Structure formats: structure tokens, C-alpha cells
Chains A and B, each alone.
Chain A
Amino acid sequence: MSNVEIANGNELVAEAAIAAGCRFYAGYPITPSSEIPEHLSKRMPEVGGVFMQFEDEIASVIAAIGASYAGYKSMTATSGPGLSLKQEGIGLACMMELPLVVVDVMRGGPSTGLPTRVSQADYMQARWGTHGDHMIIAIAPSTLIETYTETIRAFNLAEKYRTPVLLLTDAVLAHLHGRVEIPDISNFEIIERTQPTVPPEEYYPYDVERFGIIPPLPNKENWRKYKFHMTGLNKDKTGFPTVDSKKVEEDEERMINKIMNNIKDIESFEYYRVDDADVLVIAYGTNATAARVAIDEARSKGIKVGMFRPITVWPFPEAQVFDLSKKFKKIIVSEINLGQMLYEVQRASKGNSEIFTVLQAAGVPIRPQQILEKIEEVSK
């Protein structure tokens, strides 16, 4: 890809996946994500990778997981209804501790909802969609260039922490066409799963005693010689099922800790004009662009307002929001749904701040004017 491209968000996700080393894509078409498979159906064979359109979303996520087991960096992309179908598979990737990137181009719902319209209503589904205790990493890019850079980061985190990572874009970002200056790929650190160096007969995929909290995982070159077992059942260090309460609980906790103990490496957020602000807006994804415009407008009218924007939206930036709650008496939460991150902000701010909202589930973006009006109202 040349440095300056006219592209939409979906194409940028697809190109970034290839740049990150993804060589296996499986999916089932769904608006507004379909340009991702369309683009990859052309590009994957060019780079010698696998592109497959499966019979449904369940097959797609399972195939991507199978490819990851077989040593490949893999991805699947979908939208709300498809994400619901993939949830059992996402849990399988959590349990097997296999790297996987799942792109969810958010549209309105529940059910078929608003296929072509924007929403951020999968925020909670991303976190809690699969059953059982688990931790998830989810990233919400806000601009075209971020759809590219954050896709690369999604792959890096998946590989590094052996975990599924969700990339939450939306119908607006997906279809927004713009000129994007793509940084040279050599500027990015591309992370690969750590490779086992022990003799094959000594390798176990969950041997934390020997290898540490995130054991190595064979890549496609090494996979053939390392034979190992994986299961969706609670497993011991060898990868075989166990019902030993102590082992099960330790493993469940470790799978959460491998993410939470590395939160500094995983978290990502932006503070925008908060230093001297009296009022704080919290917004993410596409909607943060509207919030930014509203904040600039309010500033030009002399209102001191700033924004906190989570980029890694899961795990939720709890510590940061708690600190902000001590500083800000008034926080406005804005998202394109009827209030989902809102619960997290309420929880993390521990009652320190008065919380206002600009929420909307109408299939259209929240306008900067709507956020501006709320800023003016609460600053009175």
C-alpha cells in the first residue's frame, strides 16, 4: 500500500491485518462489514494467505481459531447479529488461549435492527457476550487512521497475550472514505507469539510453571513438530481436561491476571483539553469525533471542557476514570446507544461526580450540537 490512500475504514482494517501478518481470514458477509471480506478475498491470495467464506459466522470464528491453533495469525469480521453467533467461539479462544482478532462493525440492534446504520450498542456484548468468567480486550478506533493503527495493535495484543481481541468499529467509520496517510510499516512493532525452544516432547501449551504466565505457542513454521492437545474444557498445564478445583481456579484466575497484570501495556486512551477543564466528556469511537468538535466549539465560547477517550475500551480504564471523578464534579457520558459504558463510568467514579448523558439509539450519529447543548446546560 502506498503512503497516501483513499480508503474506507473497512479497507483499512483489511490492509492493516495483512500488514500485521494475518494470513488467515474466515467470515460470513454482513452489512456493514462486507468490504473487509471483499478486500481480503482479493488480497489474501496475493500474499499467499487463506481467505474463506464459510457457511455461517460460527464456522468462521471456529475456522479462525483452528488456524490460530495451527500457527497462523487469523481474523474474522462481522456485525452485531454475527457477533452474537460468534460468542461461543470467542469463549473457546479465551479458554484455549489462542490469539484471534474479531472485528465487529457495529450497527443498530437488537436482532436485525438497523443493518446499514451506526451504533455503539455492542459495547457490553463485547465484554460479556460469551458465557463464563473471562477477561477480554476490546479496542475502539475513532478515526480512519486509527482503524489502521489499532488493527495492528489488536494483532499485537492477541499474539502477546494469547487471547482474542475485539476491534469495535461502526457503520460510519466503515464507510467513511478519506485520504489517509499510512505510516510506513517499518515504523510499527509487529509482535509474534513467543516460540517454544524446548524439545517437542517437553512442550505443553499451558506450562506456566516452566514458561511463565503466558507460555510460548508454536507458529506455522514450528507447528508441525510440536504436537499438543487443546480443549474447551478447563484444562491443566498439559492442555488436558481437569476438574481439580484448585487447578481450575488457579487457571481461571491466571487467564484474567495475564491481562490485568499487564494493564499498563494494554491500556490506551486520550486526554483532550482536560488540564484546565471544569466539565469532562467521556466518549469513544466515532462518537468521540463529534465530542471533539463540540468541545472546541464550547471552548470558543469560553466554556472549559475536555474529553477522556478510552481507546482500549475493555478492560475499562477504571483507575483513570476514578482519578478523573475526583477532579470533575460533572461528567457527561456520550455514546451511540442507550447507556452501556455509562454503567462503567458510574461504577468507576464511585459517586464522586454528577453524571449526565448524551445517548442516542436512532441509527444516526450524535451531532456535535447535541453534545454542545449538554455541555452548555451543565456548565450553567
Chain B
Amino acid sequence: MSVDYSKYLRMDKLPLYWCPGCGNGTVLKALLTAIDELGWDNNDIAMVSGIGCSARGPGYVNFHTFHTLHGRAIPAATAIKMCHPDMHVIVFSGDGDMTAIGGNHFIHACRRNIDITLIVVDNWIYGMTGGQYSPLTPTGTKASTMPRGNIDPTFDVVELAKGAGATFVARGSVAEPVMLKNYIKKALEHKGTSVIDALSNCHIQWGRRNKFGDPVKLVDYIKSVTVSQAKAAKLSKEELEGKYITGIFVDDPTKKEYTQSYKELIEKAQAKA
């Protein structure tokens, strides 16, 4: 069944500000399709972002939308969830936004296990500001501030989220949009902090510097560096070098969700008062 996207988009804000073929659109589409499958009401959804190309996403959708400062989407989303615990709260922002300047908020949201969904649009670069390297820029690849190739090691977003205590963690990519949509849907349904590492193509700022200026070629390349969990299990450490494993890595419904803990705290305080 095809989705009527006009139900979710602010049609008067189109065309999109993004470069043609940008992965941001693919990730946004996967999100809207997942929401459509869940049958959620627009009034019940808040979408929050920081600053970056991907962070412009919320502006196009007809939800409660809040475009904050670079790196600061997560505390705002946390507050919205605390104020309206029955709302669905989604953060849609970039790899730089969430793992560099906003890295501290990222790990603490995971630790609290507050019921928000963090979608990291992981295009390996600071797209908006002209291709400077991010904590997720693959080592050895070029960026405007790493003209000789990136010497920085990268974060593994999945391991970072896991270690910090997120209770749903998955990685998908724009090369397999249906799978990405399915992971996002599961993340949205999950009660607790859910993290999606969404590998995405910035063929302009990352691609052009690394011989992938064409979006189709870059998406194919992304496909070539991803392996499913099942396949990965059969590969050696050396064979997995430089590969991104896709799949669901954590799905734990047992850890207490934060707004629930806070609700109980209120009950305790009011019983005593």
C-alpha cells in the first residue's frame, strides 16, 4: 500500500532544501512510512533537531517541530517528553550534531533510558558547513579539514549507545530503505531510549572528496561496506575491517523507562506531602 505523504509533509515548505539525491530524504521517508504503518496521529508526535543539513528534516513535517542549536536536540526532546509523557518524541539530526558537539547529551539520554527515539543521520561528514570531518568520518577518507585523509579513529555508534545504556539499538542504511524503515518502526514502538544509526549518503561533501560524487554510486558503495549480522557472524575480524554491521543489536524491554520512574517519584512525593 502506498503512503499518502501529504498527510505528514508541510507541502508549502517544499521543495526540500537538500541537494538532489541526498540521503536525508531517504531516511525521512523511511521514518514517515514507519509512522504511517503505526497509524500515529500527527498531534501526538514531536520531532526535534539540532543544526545541520539533516536537522532541517523536522521543518518539513506536520508534527510539533523544534529546530534547536547545534548539538542540543536531545535535552530539548527530553524536556518535551517529561512535560508530555504520552507524546512520541523523535530526534532527527546529524552524526556531528549527535556524536561530536552533542555527544554528552547522547550518552546521558541512553543512560536515563527515556522513551525517545534518536535517529542519527550518519553521512560520515559535516555536510552543512562544507565537509569537515566528524567523529564518524571513516579513517583514511578525505574531508575539508583532513585533506590528506582522516587520521582520527571513529566512534561505533552502536557500541557507544549500547555502552551508554540504550535499550534499543539498530543500524540500517539508505541502501536498504525498507530494512531501515522496519528498524525505525521497531525503535518507535520501543519504550525506552532507542537509537538508529542510519548510514546515509552525502555525495556532495563526503562523496566529491572521495570519488563518490554521484549519489547512486555512493549508495552502492554504502551497500558494499555494510553486512548483515548473520553474514558478519561468518566473517573473520580482518574481513570485517572497515565494514558496518547492520541489524538490531539491543532490544531490551526490561530496563525501567525514565518517565515511568519519574511518575513513581511524583506518587511517592505526593503520598508523603
Contacts and interface: CB of A to CB of B under 8 A. Distances in A.
Given A48-B266, A55-B104, A225 B76 contact: no
Interface stretch (A56-64, A121-129, A246-254, A354-362): A56-64
Given A45-B265, A50-B83, A62 B43 contact: no
Interface string B39-72: 0001110101001000000110011111111001
B68 A70 contact: no
A63 B65 CA distance: 15
B68 A54 contact: no
B231 interface: no
A54 B273 CA distance: 25
A220 interface: yes
A223 B59 contact: no
Contacts of A161: none
A59 B83 contact: no
Contact of B82 (A59, A67, A88, A240): A67
Interface in A318-357: none
Given A66-B66, A66-B76, A227 B270 contact: no
Contact of B78 (A48, A63, A223): A63
B59 to A, nearest CB: 6
Interface stretch (A136-144, A178-186, A230-238, A301-309): A230-238
A88 B69 contact: yes
B270 A48 contact: yes
Contact of A71 (B59, B77, B83, B269): B83
A232 B63 CA distance: 18
Given A45-B268, A225-B43, A240-B13, A59 B105 contact: yes
Given A62-B75, A66-B75, A67-B79, A92 B69 contact: yes
Contact of A70 (B13, B44, B72, B80): B80
Nearest to B85: A50
Contacts of A66: 48, 66, 68, 75-80, 83
Most chain A Cβ neighbours within 10 Å, of B62, B79, B273: B79
Contact of A230 (B42, B67, B105, B269): B67
Interface in A9-25: 24
A89 B72 contact: yes
A52 B270 CA distance: 17
A232 B71 CA distance: 13
A265 interface: no
B79 A64 contact: yes
A203 interface: no
B5 interface: no
Interface residues of B, number: 39
A220 B13 CA distance: 27
A193 to B, nearest CB: 15
Contact of B108 (A59, A92, A230, A231): A59
Contact of B83 (A56, A88, A220, A232): A220
A50 B59 contact: no
A67 B89 CA distance: 13
Contact of B105 (A26, A55, A64, A67): A55
B231 to A, nearest CB: 37
Which secondary structure characterizes the binding site on chain B? helix
A45 B273 CA distance: 10
Given A69-B76, A232-B68, A45 B269 contact: yes
B108 A62 contact: no
A65 interface: yes
Contacts of A58: 72, 75
Contacts of A89: 69, 72
Interface in A261-288: none
A45 B270 contact: yes
A46 B273 contact: yes
The CB with the most chain A CB atoms within 10 A, among B46, B51, B67, B265, is that of: B67
Given A224-B43, A240-B59, A63 B270 contact: no
B155 interface: no
Contacts of A26: 75, 79
A72 interface: yes
A202 B58 CA distance: 19
A153 B180 CA distance: 50
A229 B67 contact: yes
B80 A69 contact: yes
A44 to B, nearest CB: 8
A375 to B, nearest CB: 47
Contacts of A48: 266, 270
Contacts of B69: 62, 88-89, 92, 232
Given A45-B269, A92-B69, A229-B65, A67 B108 contact: no
Interface in A181-238: 220, 223-225, 227-233
Given A66-B76, A224-B43, A24 B83 contact: yes
Give me the 5 closest cross-chain CB pairs, A-B, nearest first. Answer: A66-B76, A66-B79, A45-B269, A231-B67, A59-B75
Given A63-B75, A224-B87, 5 more contacts: A24-B82, A26-B79, A59-B108, A66-B79, A69-B80
27 contacts: A46-B269, A46-B270, A48-B266, A50-B79, A50-B262, A52-B79, A54-B108, A56-B104, A58-B72, A59-B72, A59-B78, A59-B104, A60-B75, A63-B78, A66-B76, A67-B80, A69-B66, A70-B79, A220-B84, A223-B64, A223-B84, A224-B43, A225-B43, A227-B64, A228-B64, A229-B59, A229-B67
